[in-house]
Amino acid sequence: MLVSNGIPADQLSMAQWRKSRFSNPSGSCVEVAKLPGGAVAVRNSRHPSGPALIYTRAEIAAFLSGVKHGEFDDLCPDGSMLLPGSHRNGVLAQ
């Protein structure tokens, strides 16, 4: 099966979707699934049949590295999303 960006997520029958244990309990979450060949699909849990974004392993690794090193902290400037083990301005949170 050819998988490309925007494919309806419910057409990814092989996908085993999962979300972070830190996710919003009301169900507003981002879900990810590893696909055959190593690609990673991302979808909005509120719209499980909606479009899935497909990323290579290298793209996901680069994004996660940026997250771990605080490169996106400005998206939550009040610190409300700071979790233990994450970084704020290069400093490890307790």
State pLDDT tens for residues 2-58. Answer: 788 999 999 999 999 999 887 777 777 899 999 999 999 999 999 999 999 999 999
Q: Which residue has the higher pLDDT, 45 or 79?
A: 45
Cβ neighbors of 42 (< 8 A, separation 6 or more) are 30, 31, 32, 52, 53, 54, 55
The helix or strand, by DSSP H or E, that contains position 63, with its residue range, turns out to be helix 57-68
What's the pLDDT score for residue 80? 61
Q: Map out the domains of the chain as residue ranges.
A: 1-55
What's the pLDDT score for residue 21? 83
